[in-house]
Chains A and B, each alone.
Chain A
Amino acid sequence: DSGVTQTPKHLITATGQRVTLRCSPRSGDLSVYWYQQSLDQGLQFLIQYYNGEERAKGNILERFSAQQFPDLHSELNLSSLELGDSALYFCASSFLAAKSYNEQFFGPGTRLTVL
């Protein structure tokens, strides 16, 4: 158990819908990262928050957005869903944003299926 929690574990929805994925980081970690794992793209970085502020963006679609709340949990919102958005979405956390030691710990993932 990494200490990072994600809900829900599984999500099945239809094209055009909107969903919210939730992540709670390890106790004491200030940084939250979102990654997407799909069959054709592999594991890719989406976005990072540090202590409530957006720190870095990767290959995140405009239909996707995220935020980190004062209690440090984070939510990833996916809207106007398409079939190609079906993937495993991971949240990771680390203590520091970008220092010499920055081990990231991953949650169990949310498996999204868009029908």
Chain B
Amino acid sequence: GIQVEQSPPDLILQEGANSTLRCNFSDSVNNLQWFHQNPWGQLINLFYIPSGTKQNGRLSATTVATERYSLLYISSSQTTDSGVYFCAGRVETSGSRLTFGEGTQLTVNP
């Protein structure tokens, strides 16, 4: 199966700072999703982005499928952005299953 590598593993920010999270894949992916797992454990869909760039408020994401990586940008971070950010991808040979990275633990301090 594919390997998904996320960096950095941990990130501590002051409120208002910007950050970039990275996700590298060992193989080409068809589907790519970013999730935020909040302190209560819920997995919240942020982006479905197999390629290109999308923006949603203070968050944006870019996937460069040919180079097998995706970036998640968080601008003007808030304490409510704290939690774990996961990327997950699907390859054609593995059916529909998503393979997750190990996540980036983000802490935003007031």
Which residues of A are at the interface with B, using a C-beta cutoff of 8 A? 2, 31, 33, 35, 42-45, 48, 55-56, 58, 88, 90, 92, 94, 97-98, 100-106, 108-109, 111
Contact = CB atoms under 8 A, between A and B. Distances in A.
Interface in B21-56: 30-31, 33, 35, 41-45, 48
A108 B42 contact: yes
Interface stretch (B10-18, B61-69, B70-78, B89-97): B89-97
A-B residue pairs, 10 tightest by C-beta:
A45-B97, A43-B100, A106-B43, A56-B95, A103-B48, A98-B96, A102-B31, A108-B42, A98-B95, A42-B102
Interface residues of B, number: 23
B85 interface: no
A38 to B, nearest CB: 12
